[in-house]
Structure 1
């Protein structure tokens, strides 16, 4: 993942508070000690509550996330049972019962996915400044893999994970733009190549990779990369590269220094 490596510092706090890491393998810490949640349903329950930390999640939403289209005979009672088990692991004060559901008593920054979104908002407010770069780097450093690894939930993987991945890619592309503007294109090439390989149809990412290669003195490699991408788009989707990709390719062919 692109960002400043911090060895998951966001889940190693010694302030005694609960920490939930969702941007990669699922991790939970309480007072800096790891908490092991043995069943998928417990992990799913905490992940759903954590994504709305400090806010009420309805029983209906919890049932959908945990059981999908196969709810138990008594869904409310079943949710109560799992909440009770989760309280045993996290402490009775960690989860509050509300009239319509349950609430995880945690600040957004105690959940890496929510901290990531806050940092992106901070970066957007600081656009064009050094503060923007710092916020982006801190946000990207929170990523350790695919969101919600170790949790089997269609709700998490089909909706929430896709949104987080989109935000992550947009943040990476913005950081690349800053590096290109500062003449530091070569710093991220290896990471961007790996990321682009995992998203072979995301053309804005490939556009930036071509520019980075060119500005790092690797124009021949940029041209070969474009050709591989062109073939991939044709085979997979039956389309040509975007107008912007074709424009970049044309400038590479004529040696345009821009």
Structure 2
């Protein structure tokens, strides 16, 4: 018996974990101007909750605000209503509200699934939930949206959660003997985030588990060069110890056996619920 195709999604869906994507009842909706995209992205990050006029104004006009910013904002809100449907955007006393199921916004769904994974820590359901959350990412958050607030506040926060979840999934895979499966994505992310020492450590451990010690040493040299050039310091204690163990032919300690895996006090297994370090973004 053939599997029935999944039903088309209903309602409004907004994808911000990559290039901005908008659809109503499964049909793509183009947003032709930059400020319309910015307005929708900011509202979507608080789906079904009001966003203040002050925040919206600062997000749309970070440098020079129009003389009548409230009027200008209402004009853009009206254009968004014409595009999405009048019932989608509600004016509140001091803000706007986007009527949308939070699960229809990929970033909010991502965070909800990670919260489920944290609640299932140590159970067989944890890894599949982490994988489900990570699979929602398509690239750099808010790609194609010009907003300093999204770029400096929301994107780094989401990226931190993504990378921390990736590290936790890696730890689970290493414990399960799947080191080889982790190397390609770890290599890619270390290139994008060379200052994230907790990620680099996991790459060294994975390579060591695969018998690729020479490659691990080359990666360490590359990572050390970036850290010393950008920060003017040596790699952290865990990375230096891993390097010494590689040179001595000793197996590397698995991630999480030391008190901290990063210069910034990150502990393995945390999902970054309240962190934002702004190291960069996947897909950059």
TM range (shorter): over 0.9
Q: Which has the higher helix share?
A: 1
CA drift of 1:205 comes to 0.3
Pick one of 137, 153, 163 that aligns with 2:157. 163
CA, structure 1 residues 234+75, in 2 after alignment: closer, same or farther (shift >3 Å)? same
CA drift of 1:241 comes to 0.9
TM-score between both structures, scaled by the size of structure 2: 0.85
Q: Please state if 1:68 is matched with 2:58.
A: no
- Could you give the per-residue CA deviations for residues 94-131 of structure 1, whole angstroms, max 9, x where no partner exists? 11121121111112111000011111111111111221
Pick one of 185, 192, 195 that aligns with 1:191. 185
Pick one of 194, 205, 226 that aligns with 1:200. 194
Pick one of 23, 27, 34 that aligns with 1:33. 27
TM-score between both structures, scaled by the size of structure 1: 0.93
Q: Please state if 1:209 is matched with 2:203.
A: yes
Equivalent residues of 1:13, 1:32 under 8 A apart:
no
- Could you give the per-residue CA deviations for residues 201-245 of structure 1, whole angstroms, max 9, x where no partner exists? 110000000000000111111111112211221222211010011
- Point out 4+ residue stretches in structure 1 off by more than 3 angstroms: none
Pick one of 141, 144, 147 that aligns with 1:150. 144
In the TM superposition, 1:13-162 aligns within 5 A as: 14-162=8-156
Q: CA separation in 1, counterparts of 2:165 and 2:245?
A: 26
Equivalent residues of 2:12, 2:101 under 8 A apart:
no
Report the RMSD for the aligned CA atoms in angstroms: 1.2
Q: Please state if 1:173 is matched with 2:181.
A: no
CA drift of 1:13 comes to 6.6
